[in-house]
Amino acid sequence: MSPSLALQYLLPQKTLSRIVRAATRWTWGPWKNFLIARVVKRYRVDMSEAAQHDPFAYPNFNAFFTRALKPGARHAGGGEAAVLCPADGRISQAGRIQEGRILQAKGRDFSVTELLTDEEDAALYRSGHFVTVYLSPRDYHRVHMPMDGELIETVHVPGKLFSVAPKPVARIPDLFARNERLICHFDGARGPFVVALVGAMLVSGIRTVWSGQEVPPYAAHVVRSDWRGRSVRLARFAEMGRFEMGSTVILLLPPSCLLRPGLLPEMPVRVGQRLGHFAEDF
């Protein structure tokens, strides 16, 4: 095991994330401008797409990191029947779920049951499809709806905070099923689907549009929240949540959804890009 990978196991992941959370909300100008400048330069962040294009106009680093885009910067593609990409970033993996297992990286997979922590929920996707999108520090960090849906349940799962960068994903077994995460179950016109927001090293928060701050607090046990009958309906392409620092989104789709060809690892994607469609719509 490499020294950098060993550190993933040894570092106090949640303590570091709490420190980062405080640091990214400090409004002292020299500090927040230093952090913003480092990220803009190192990751070549395209500020021309942002609603506020001056990176130093944001009150703190977190506001910069979760910045909104200007109107028209993203579009819903593929027609009304298309399943849309929920986030900017790169494809980590995508494809069919094989006998209830999701490909994490070459030679590594994990089970839908481990991800969702529920066998009955997992059975809906045993032979379905998945798309995993990795958000790097340069990306737009708001997550959007892949299709119209009514929120049925959220499940906050406790866990580790391993980095979700490509190297750890390739080397740490069951990483996405081990990290802290918020599972969002939706019911759509074509059946159920899941948008899972996976936390990671130094990710200091996950927010949703229906209840605000979800993480932290970090969970001590699985927390289920029933949203049935509470009329939380979100339109296709609408914002559903955001990461306060980068991470990963995993989209689970039923067997009747067909992914479009060419969704290969490291392929860049954007919110609203067509990922696939349902067979009955064509």
Q: Does residue 148 carry a catalytic annotation?
A: no
Contact by Cβ (8 Å): 182, 217: no
Report phi then psi at 163, rounded to 5. Answer: -60, 145
Among the listed residues 17, 88, 109, 129, the single catalytic one is 88
Q: Quote the CA–CA distance of 58 and 197 in Å, as a whole number.
A: 25
Catalytic residue among 144, 156, 185, 277: 144
88 annotated active-site? yes
DSSP code string of 140-163:
--EEE-SS-EEEEEEEEE--B---
Task: Find the catalytic residue in 17, 92, 163, 247.
Answer: 247
CA distance 263 to 278: 16
Instruction: Measure the CA angle with vertex 138, ends 133 and 141; round to 5°.
Output: 55
Number of neighbouring beta carbons within 10 Å of residue 45: 21
Neighbouring CB atoms inside 10 A of 218's CB total 15
The helix (run of H) or strand (run of E) holding residue 20 is: helix 13-23
Q: Is 4 a catalytic residue?
A: no
Nearest CA-CA partner of 180 in 211, 165, 202: 202
Return d(Cα 201, Cα 84) in angstroms, integer: 27
Cite the active site residues.
Answer: 88, 144, 247
